[in-house]
A and B are shown apart, each in its own frame.
Chain A
């Protein structure tokens, strides 16, 4: 009896200490910001380390020399890289000759749209069942009707080849990781860094190593897409019931028998969830790889954005969305089928083989027709709807510009003047040592010594890369957009967390939104607001909101029902419940949402470099275009990675800190999420 009493007294005590500590933390954070503002009023504009877009410094020159020496080097490593690129090129060209690129003397590719459609349907039926076949067939028709059939095929080829190789390498690594703590300890931090890096920053180093073209697009895509495959496989292997392993071990199975008969079959379904995530990651990278001349739907989008032909970009973006839905639905269906397939009785199995056989015959006919007849090879122009959509969009954006621009401009200006500019003035307009010291202080208060360490290292790096001012501008955009993301996240997330019906209604949209490549978010926002700083931020907010909302909703839902009940019994009002009980108890989830929000926004703000967001993103884009600026672009890429790591570490450590005061259940949930951010997003 008495021990129970003292225990609950102790919990109360630690609760009190935690509250006091977090209050102290809040007060000191405010104090840091007040001091920062005071110092800034006297020193603004001094030592901001701003440089012109056309300026280059020694370190940029050093990077440039590095890139040229890599490009010109002639040794085993470069030979191996070249061989790798050649092999990839040959593989891609093989498929392109089949489906998209005519091989002389033929005027048309070997297999046309009808054959491709039939083959894709057959493959889909084999791995995912008949329902997704409808989606695949409809998608293929839509690609054609939008006028982008060859680009869609190219994108599909690059994505599929990259996914195949990523799985071929990633699954064995994942299995190894699942078995060995040592391997896991080595690989996990690498995966962590890889997953905090925005997709955009992969491009420049890869183009330096491999040049530009389809091969580098596929290589960068496969590297970017591999971490989820590795991670999910390792997780799936570790999650196999240890009782089952023990029980089957006790029968004397060898290690190989264990892997083949026990671990892989039991991990299969989760591994296919990993295939889904790998595929979606690959798609998003493969579209952005248009920057390095990767073939596919990214090309018309990029061209449309560059030339301001929004209608064209919009239609191509639509095709990307369709592709995303198609791939997501098929791989998800495949993972569900993995479960049921093994179970279907012998009759169902026989029926399936019959359908497969007939399907193969039909596909063979379709391939034959599409090889020989141009109507089955080139998608019929009569079915075109892409042009119509393109014109409507162009009309609409013209009308917006002409008649409606006062509204959009005033939204944009009000936000920029009252919120964005002041923050940017403070962060980028302070002397570098003032801003740096303030960031370090904030990191230390929020996340302790380790966060401070990360901040010091990353800021030092930024200082020496000579892009301090641009880094601060990018940082501002990220922070401001993340604030908006968090506001959205809290409003919608709390709403969802408190009502099951709302959750059920909203969640499918969030899930769908999360499967889209970041590239396509830019297009509609660009139509609305034109090319400027604001556009990239809005796109970033839209891109990051679904993750944040879902995390917060889960956090609020996770607050134990008994706590809520107890608070209700004590007469807590609804607002009090949200502010005093549910949000504070979901603090871990909030910080995690901030963490993911920051990283998502960062990756979008960087892509937005070419549509007016400027700063580091622009430096990278410029590095692509002008070879003498490649060094500076590379430095910008490294700066972005440093910003990403800094933000990630600060939020992670402060989440860890605050959840150590939170109940154990919430903590466990958070750590699994943290280690496994991608699984929670689409499962």
Chain B
């Protein structure tokens, strides 16, 4: 099981350059922060570093790439450095060291005007506490990004009205933010980000302040938009369910460091350490694991009849048909038999889950 996890290829593919590449990124808060990197102090655990040097390494030597159209989720407990990481991507917080490349542009070395241009045209961000302008109506909040680009009033309002409809706020164009519910305010935040038609969207725990039902609506909204618009997204959350639901890949952080990067199934099936294992312990595994993680190698005596499924079918989707059939399920990728799933394998996952819940 473990070795299958390691062979999974990253989704970024070689010909197309990554939409976002982060290399050896550091952010250290505190006095003489830049002196820490490269010194032995850098290896200290967080509280010791704070005691020795008065500094906090919120982001510690992080590298990853995100492919165009991918939804990349970053998760970790409170204080693990997620917000700092995502703010370093457009230098809302200045990184201490490392590089960030967005669409081929070097962000860290960019001049003020290049950076402004990048923020205006290529990247947009959605914030946990919305950050709307309280003195402006919804429509003018949404149009704000266009306004600072210098788009004329009539045109930006027209464009903003389209986006307002897109996020399901039609009829509220002329409300003020404090007249809206939290969920609606976040839709405004989302609309504001989308109005400039950016290729890359950053989300910092956008739904944490919302109650669970609204949160689910908003997650579905993001999934729908993603299907329609095919944006690249970096999505911060501390909620594993959300990460699994939205993410093509998940980066798990602890104390500023990467603990694991992988697909939802990889993370659930083979947690890198106890920290991750703890995270995923009460996830309904059947909802996440694919057949790849439950199949065994084919044996000569296996029946050659029965169902054929691909290895990235989710267990839960396969379960009913597999259990109803008298035969084992044959897992076939690209016409080649790669494994066999029998009823026992499925039951082990599904039953274990029921007993956890009971």
A residues with a Cβ closer than 8 A to B are 241, 243-254, 257, 261-262, 265-266, 268, 342-343
Which residues of B in the span 116-131 have a Cβ within 8 Å of any Cβ on A? 116-121, 123-125, 127-131
Chain A CB within 8 A of B256 CB: no
A262-B133, A265-B135, A266-B135 are known contacts. Are A250 and B125 too (CB-CB below 8 A)? yes
Contact of A246 with B148 in the complex, beta carbons under 8 Å? no
Q: Is the CB of B133 within 8 A of A251?
A: no
One digit per residue, 1 when the CB lies within 8 angstroms of any chain A CB and 0 when it does not, for chain B 100-140 equals: 00000000000000011111110111011111111100000
Interface pairs A-B: 5 shortest CB-CB: A247-B131, A252-B119, A252-B120, A243-B131, A251-B145
Assign chain B's interface to a size class: 20 to 34
Complex CA distance for A249 and B127, rounded to whole angstroms: 12
A250 touches B134 (CB 8 A): no
CA distance A241 to B196 in the complex (A): 23
Cβ A251 vs Cβ B132 within 8 A: no
B148 touches A249 (CB 8 A): no
* Cα separation A670 to B134 with both chains bound (whole Å): 29
Q: Does A254 contact B116, Cβ atoms closer than 8 Å?
A: yes
Q: Is the CB of B135 within 8 A of A246?
A: no
Verify A243–B129 contact, CB threshold 8 A: yes
CB contacts (< 8 Å) of A243 on chain B: these are: 127-131
Contact B127 A247 (CB under 8 A): yes
Tell whether, in the assembled complex, residue B132 and residue A247 are in contact, meaning their CB atoms are under 8 Å apart: yes
Q: Report B-chain residues with C-beta under 8 Å of the C-beta of A257.
A: 148
User: Are A249 and B92 within 8 A (Cβ)?
Assistant: yes
**CB-defined A-B contacts under 8 Å, sample of 22:** A241-B131, A243-B129, A244-B132, A244-B134, A246-B87, A246-B92, A247-B131, A248-B131, A249-B92, A249-B119, A250-B90, A250-B92, A250-B123, A250-B125, A251-B124, A252-B116, A252-B117, A253-B148, A254-B116, A261-B144, A265-B133, A266-B134
B70-98 contacts to A (CB < 8 Å): 87, 90, 92
Give the shortest distance, in Å, between A615 (CB) and chain B (any CB): 50
Partner pick for B196 among A244, A251, A268, A343, CB 8 A cutoff: A251
Question: Separation in Å of the A44 CB from the closest CB of chain B?
Answer: 56
- B interface list, Cβ under 8 A from A: 87, 90, 92, 115-121, 123-125, 127-135, 144-145, 147-149, 176, 189, 192, 196, 202
Per the bound structure, the CA–CA distance linking A268 and B136 in Å amounts to: 14
| New A-B contacts (6) at CB < 8 Å, excluding given A252-B117, A265-B135 | A244-B131, A244-B134, A245-B131, A248-B131, A252-B121, A262-B133
Partner pick for A252 among B87, B148, B189, CB 8 A cutoff: B148
Q: Which residues of A contact B132 (CB under 8 A)?
A: 244, 247
CB neighbours of A253 from chain B (8 A): 116, 148
- Return the chain B residue nearest A338 by Cβ: B135
CB-contact partner of A247 in B121, B130, B176, under 8 A? B130
Give the residues in chain A near B135, CB-CB below 8 Å: 265-266, 268, 342
The answer for the CA separation of A241 and B132 in the assembled complex, in Å, is 10
Kindly list chain B residues whose C-beta atoms are within 8 Å of the C-beta of A246: 87, 92, 127, 131
Closest to A343 in B: B176
Which A residues lie within 8 Å of B117 (CB)?
Answer: 252
B118 and A251 within 8 A (CB): no
Minimum distance in angstroms from A244 CB to a CB of chain B = 4
Q: How far is the CB of B90 from chain A (nearest CB, A)?
A: 6
- In the complex the two chains form, what is the Cα distance from A265 to B135 in whole Å? 7
Cβ 8 A contact of A251, one of B87, B129, B134, B144: B144
A251 contacts across to B, CB distance below 8 A: 119-120, 124, 144-145, 148, 192, 196
The answer on a CB contact under 8 Å between B133 and A248 is yes
Nearest chain B CB to A272's CB is how many angstroms away? 14
In Å, the complex CA distance between A241 and B202 comes to 20
Complex CA gap A249/B91 in Å reads 10
List the A side residues contacting B129 at CB < 8 Å: 241, 243
A265 to B132, CA, bound (A): 13
CA–CA, A265 to B148, complex, Å? 16
Kindly state the separation between the CA atoms of A261 and B146 in the bound complex, as whole angstroms. 13
Tell me the nearest residue of chain B to A345, going by C-beta. Answer: B174
